[in-house]
Amino acid sequence: MTMDSILAQTVPPKFIAVVNDGSTDDTEKIVLSKSFTGFHVLNTGSKARDIRKVPKLLNLALDFWQREQNHLPRTDYMIVSGDDNELSHGYAEEILRRMEEDPKLVVASGEWLSSRGRGGDQMPHGGGRFVRMSYMQEIGGHYPVAYGWETWLLYKALESGYRVKLFPEVRYEHLRPFRPTNLFGWGRAMYSLGFPSYYVFLRFLINLFNSARGTQSMSAAVTMLVGFLSAELNPSALDGMTIEDQGLKTFVRYFCTSRLTKLI
């Protein structure tokens, strides 16, 4: 369903890199059964299932793009999509139109969550996220293999004077149910990126308030805080899996402080 929604876009992809990380569902056979001729299947045979899995797989696709640029159609943008997203028919066209209108906009996505209880100025989501390739090259062409790798992309952009944007009126579907347990990793990601403790606690209190209004889950708020505290109290548990860019962490602390009034 995800692949079909990508192929049905009003602005079709120029090529698709499919990273098959040891799936047992005949991924390559399914992909090659499609009429689209621009598939490139990268088989890893990997069974890894920790936080390092996804950035490693994305980096494999980015390595392929950089290695084969002379043999691939030119593309100015990439979209990151997992196997659980279904894009609306004109999703790509709408996001790309807005990015073309704003050269400083380097990362953008639509929305799949309910807008109830969510403030403005939200960050782009991971699935359904478009990234300008010139920006990706500027920051080294790879994701860090660490907690916070997904949000790292956004803060690197802001640190460099670019813009990122979520367009809530451009919708897509997230086919798997959201699990509050995912927020444990989000809490660790906040630690990895250098979020100040007072900001994390304030977000926790706001999330608790929203859970009382029925717009968020209390367990999600608690899980995120536990993830952050577990990292702060035992940093060695994250050895080799945290962001090392101290300049970025300084920027994140400044950025979080500047957003406090927007959260209240």
pLDDT at 8: 92
Question: CATH number for the domain including 107?
Answer: 3.90.550.10
pLDDT at 221: 86
* pTM beyond 0.75: yes
141 and 168: one domain?
yes
Indicate the residue among 117, 142, 174 that finishes a domain.
Answer: 174
pLDDT bucket at 48, cuts 50 / 70 / 90: low
Lowest-confidence range among 21-25, 64-68, 78-82, 213-217? Answer: 213-217
Query: 49 with 85: CB under 8 angstroms?
Result: no
Percentage of the chain exceeding pLDDT 70: 86
Region 3-23 average pLDDT: 87
pLDDT in tens, 98-108: 999 999 999 99
Indicate the residue among 174, 205, 224 that finishes a domain.
Answer: 174
186 and 169: one domain?
no
pLDDT in tens, 162-213: 999 999 999 888 877 666 667 899 999 999 999 999 999 988 988 787 776 5
Structural domain span for residue 25: 2-174
Query: 264 with 207: CB under 8 angstroms?
Result: no
